């Protein structure tokens, strides 16, 4: 390895965060925000695509050609990275769930090392889980209707403590969700990857995704945190929804493909389950004619529950730690494993 490592920043970062990377020992940073997509909101890692002239396109190609490390993927042609960046050895992703992206682009078959952002978004996603679950447990829609009608009528409000949650996917996000729910008096059951071991004290019962059907009867809150893989796609279909009690709240912070969306719409419309809290959908953006928009027992976030104002700082902190490890030849955090899909 040369004394100087060339790092190309491929998505927009505020000046202070870019400077933090540039200040790392033995690093040459290539960063041209004027060539990158324009962020539409804070911590937007996709942005509105720029229409570069020939000179801009040439500059971007030259930057990639020099890169040994990339912070995020090539926004123009990620599938072409092995050819466009022949010196590239490692990419730090800005998302945790990149399995589908890696398969679509063919990067899962390349020799480039990729690390994910697993864990960075755990707190933000857990906050969304709590927001959605409490929205329905406390029956906020009914309170809003009473408020709109100027009706001061005392009533009994539901409690979160004493309910049972099943958390599917016990990585950094799922384990954090489980811990926080347990701290609020929720009985937490977990379902992890078959063959894996987990040490999560918050879990009062532990199973696997292959055994999820046995965990659903009596489940008040079903939280999906698992990565999208061949084993988890379609994990929750008509049969699984039928096992849930009428009061159950389904929360999906994983990927839309884990759930049979048509079956979910049917179960919600017929009030066979209580509610759904969704950060993801099978097709994104969620089509304007989707019935999910108009169901009063559904709360939708446009795949933004993981995005928070200081996210770029957290991502850069992770990247700098991994950069130090990479230079020393040590194991990287959050190594993407193609055979697992995450």
Can you give the pLDDT at residue 2?
A: 55
Domain 122-300 in CATH: superfamily?
NAD(P)-binding Rossmann-like Domain (3.40.50.720)
| CA distance to 12, 183, 214, per residue, from 200 (Å) | 36, 13, 20
- CATH fold for the domain made of 5-119+308-328: Rossmann fold (3.40.50)
**What size, in residues, is the chain?**
342
Residues of the chain with pLDDT under 70: 1-2
Instruction: Provide the sign of the torsion angle of the four alpha carbons 143, 148, 150, 151, taken in this order.
Output: negative
Measured in Å, how far apart are the chain's first and last C-alpha atoms?
28
**Which neighbouring-strand residues pair with 29?**
7
Tokens 């850069």 correspond to 316
- Cα 84 to Cα 22: distance, rounded to the nearest angstrom: 23
Other C-beta atoms closer than 10 Å to the C-beta of 302 total 13
The pairing of beta strand 203-208 with beta strand 221-224? unpaired
DSSP three-state, residue 221: strand
DSSP 105-121: HTGGGSS-EEE--TTTT
Summarised one tens digit per residue, pLDDT across range 218-233 is 999 999 999 999 999 9
pLDDT digits 0-9 by tens, 150-199: 999 999 999 999 999 999 999 999 999 999 999 999 999 999 999 888 88
Task: Determine contact, residues 269/291, Cβ cutoff 8 Å.
Answer: yes
pLDDT at position 203 is 81
133: left (phi over 0), alpha (psi -120 to 50) or beta: alpha
CATH 3.40.50.720 boundaries in the chain: 5-119+308-328, 122-300
Pair 235, 258: CB distance under 8 Å:
yes
pLDDT at 1: 44
Contact 240, 216 (CB under 8 A): yes
pLDDT of residue 223: 98
Whole-angstrom distance, CA of residue 230 vs CA of residue 254 = 14
Q: Is the dihedral of CA 34, 37, 40, 46 positive or negative?
A: negative
Contact of 50 with 316, CB cutoff 8 Å: no
d(CA 268, CA 136): 13
177 neighbors 234 (Cβ within 8 angstroms):
no
């Amino acid at each position: 390895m040369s004394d100087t490592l060339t790092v190309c920043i491929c998505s927009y970062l505020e000046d202070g965060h870019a400077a933090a990377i540039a200040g790392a020992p033995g690093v040459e940073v290539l960063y041209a925000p004027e060539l990158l997509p324009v962020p539409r909101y804070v911590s937007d890692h996709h942005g509105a695509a720029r229409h570069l002239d020939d000179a801009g396109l040439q500059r971007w190609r030259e930057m990639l050609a020099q890169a040994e490390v990339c912070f995020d993927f090539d926004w123009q042609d990620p599938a072409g990275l092995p050819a466009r960046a022949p010196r590239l050895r490692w990419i730090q992703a800005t998302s945790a769930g990149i399995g589908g992206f890696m398969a679509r682009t063919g990067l899962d078959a390349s020799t480039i090392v990729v690390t994910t952002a697993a864990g960075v978004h755990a707190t933000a996603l857990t906050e969304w889980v709590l927001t959605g679950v409490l929205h329905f447990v406390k029956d906020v829609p009914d309170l809003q209707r009473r408020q709109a009608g100027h009706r001061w009528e005392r009533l009994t409000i539901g409690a979160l403590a004493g309910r049972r949650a099943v958390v599917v996917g016990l990585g950094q996000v799922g384990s954090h969700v489980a811990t926080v729910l347990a701290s609020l008096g929720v009985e937490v059951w977990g379902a992890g990857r078959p063959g894996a071991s987990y040490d999560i004290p918050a879990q009062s019962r532990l199973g696997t995704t292959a055994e999820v059907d046995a965990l659903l009867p009596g489940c008040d809150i079903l939280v999906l945190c698992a990565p999208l893989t061949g084993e988890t796609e379609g994990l929750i279909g008509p049969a699984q929804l039928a096992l849930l009690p009428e009061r159950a709240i389904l929360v999906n912070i994983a990927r839309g493909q884990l759930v049979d969306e048509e079956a979910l719409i049917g179960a919600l419309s017929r009030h066979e389950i209580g509610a759904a809290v969704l950060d993801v959908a099978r097709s994104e953006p969620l089509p304007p004619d989707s019935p999910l928009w108009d169901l009063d027992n559904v709360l939708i976030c446009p795949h933004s529950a993981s995005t928070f104002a200081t996210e770029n700082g957290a991502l850069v902190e992770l990247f700098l730690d991994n950069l130090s490890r990479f230079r020393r030849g040590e194991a990287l955090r959050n190594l993407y494993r193609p055979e697992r899909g995450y």
